[in-house]
Amino acid sequence: MPFTRREFTKQSALTGAGIALTGTVAALATAPGALAAGDPKHGHDGHDGHGHDHGHGHGREPGYGPLIADPEGILALPAGFSYQVITHSGVTKLESGEFTPSNHDGTATFEGPRGVTLLVNNHELSGVRAGWEHPVPLAEGLVYDPVAAGGCTVVETRRDGRTAEWVGIAGTSTNCAGGATPWGTWLTCEETEDRAGKNGLLKDHGYVFEVDPYDKRANRDPRPIKAFGRYAHEAVVIDPKLGHAYLTEDASGPNGLLYRWVPPHGFRHGRGKLRTLADDAGVLQATKCFDSNGKFVDDLSRATKIGTVYGVDWVDVPDRDAKAVSVRKQFADGEVTRARKLEGMWWGDGGAYIVSSFARSESPAQHDGQVWFYDPKRRTLTLKVLLGVNADPSKDGAFDGPDNITVSPYGGLVIAEDGDGIQHLFGATGSGRTYPIARNELNIGSEEEPEYSEFTGVTFSPDGRTLYANIQTPGIMLAITGPWKRQPNRH
């Protein structure tokens, strides 16, 4: 049922133009240089994330203090923090003896028995296997397209520091982000529209696949979830109450779309249920937004003020498998709302946090990052984070290009940077302050022209004690520990 202009205008008035906060994350505003870092020796709120009471008061600056250069040249962290390399492409090996695949991307954690943490890790490898030194190995029974280089691995970490890694799915392409399901599996997303015969591939790509970290047998004979559509998928989250799937598309010419998949009547989610769906099961829809005056919004970059709220209608996709025309090109101007670089998503606070990484000349207005919150009850999108254009990404201190995100158990968001120049993991508090958590110091360029890979796969362990993140190139999974503490929500 369409969401009428009258309903939205009335609701906006009731919620104070939509600036009412939801859960852990308030309206977050940040711009180049808006970096907050406190003294790590002072200002704990009484807890360090491990249950130890330090007896300190409130009123502190957010964050954990300045980042300290790493003598190993990998990861700069605040005082008191440390990291461990979990997997490293071309260095660590799978249980089968092959090297860990490269190009780590989206990741999620799952609680295993007796203190074990399981992680499913995407490997964003496009095209055919011959183009990569360390593609995902073709594990028997787990291959979709035998010439494709991408896929997922499952990583097991134990309390004693031991690790193991094995293939979850192989023969997929450009596995970028994805999302964990409420029933304990991982949805891996192909960020490509390549059909069979293009770029040497044997099968159609651009789908979502389900990977079970607990049951290797459940991953045999991989089948795409065609009901979710075929396009340049980025991330996906599942509404645990309604069962709707929300999916982002990272594409341009024209800009990509935010999608919703509504399950068919009577469908019940659960382990292995998605692979039983018919190709045309349920309804795939794209967003159509309008402001509080009922005016259609053509692109999310139009929002230049924190707290901007748009009402959302959902428009059915004509041909979700894009047999002749890409899904995003099936809509005429005025039919749907677009956005550039729709990237990471995370379900929290009863809704979906959604990233638009940046906008340039392909968009109506320029920015270096937005984070939106979709409230399924109110059917609204609220702008929570807005990063101004970073004038000099080569200088440390400003953030740009948010990508993967997670809601932190210590309040606010933790964001992986995929911008130009220096790359960070950074936090954003509920009151609009940003602070650094880590800086990538692994120079994959030259001394004269340094280059630093993006961060990906930011996610906390089930117990909240460890922050996992990846350096995408060459492909390193890191486990970060330290004196985590609740972040302040006030200025």
pLDDT reading at 37 higher than 70? no
State residue 82's pLDDT score: 98
pLDDT reading at 474 higher than 70? yes
State residue 431's pLDDT score: 61
C-alpha span between 77 and 153 (Å, rounded): 27
What is the band of 490 on the pLDDT scale with cuts at 50, 70, 90? Answer: low
What is the band of 59 on the pLDDT scale with cuts at 50, 70, 90? Answer: low
pLDDT digits (tens, 9 = 90+) for 165-183: 999 999 999 999 999 999 9
Mean pLDDT estimate for the chain: 88
Contact 104, 418 (CB under 8 A): no
pTM: 0.89
Share above pLDDT 90 across residues of the chain, in percent, rounded to a whole number: 81
Share above pLDDT 70 across residues of the chain, in percent, rounded to a whole number: 87
State residue 60's pLDDT score: 75
C-alpha span between 182 and 293 (Å, rounded): 36
Calculate ∠ Cα 238-240-241, nearest 5°: 125
Other Cβ atoms closer than 10 A to 69: 11
Residue type, 426: F
C-alpha span between 35 and 343 (Å, rounded): 23
Our measurement of the distance from residue 113's CA atom to the centroid of its chain's CA atoms, rounded to an integer in Å, reads: 26
The domains of the chain are located at 83-481
pLDDT reading at 57 higher than 70? no
Higher local confidence (pLDDT), 318 or 9: 318
C-alpha span between 368 and 153 (Å, rounded): 31
State residue 9's pLDDT score: 43
Q: How far is CA 417 from CA 295, 311, 398, in A?
A: 33, 28, 11
State residue 3's pLDDT score: 45
- The widest CA-to-CA distance across the chain, in whole angstroms, is 64
C-alpha span between 32 and 393 (Å, rounded): 9
pLDDT reading at 287 higher than 80? yes
Instruction: Name the fold adopted by 83-481.
Output: Neuraminidase (2.120.10)
What is the band of 98 on the pLDDT scale with cuts at 50, 70, 90? Answer: very high
pLDDT digits (tens, 9 = 90+) for 400-417: 999 999 999 999 999 999
Higher local confidence (pLDDT), 371 or 40: 371
pLDDT reading at 73 higher than 90? yes
Q: What does the block give as tokens for 490?
A: 């006030």
Contact 459, 109 (CB under 8 A): yes
Which residue, chain included where needed, has tokens 């097991």? Answer: 156
State residue 197's pLDDT score: 95
Contact 341, 356 (CB under 8 A): yes
Sign (positive or negative) of CA dihedral 398, 123, 244, 298 = positive
Other Cβ atoms closer than 10 A to 337: 25
pLDDT reading at 39 higher than 80? no
Q: How far is CA 353 from CA 35, 37, 231, 347, 373, in A?
A: 22, 25, 21, 6, 5
C-alpha span between 233 and 190 (Å, rounded): 5
Contact 312, 292 (CB under 8 A): no
* Helix (H) or strand (E) segment spanning residue 13: helix 5-14
C-alpha span between 328 and 446 (Å, rounded): 39
pLDDT digits (tens, 9 = 90+) for 195-251: 999 999 999 999 999 999 999 999 999 999 999 999 999 999 999 999 999 999 999
State residue 42's pLDDT score: 30
Give the residue-averaged pLDDT of 134-151. 98
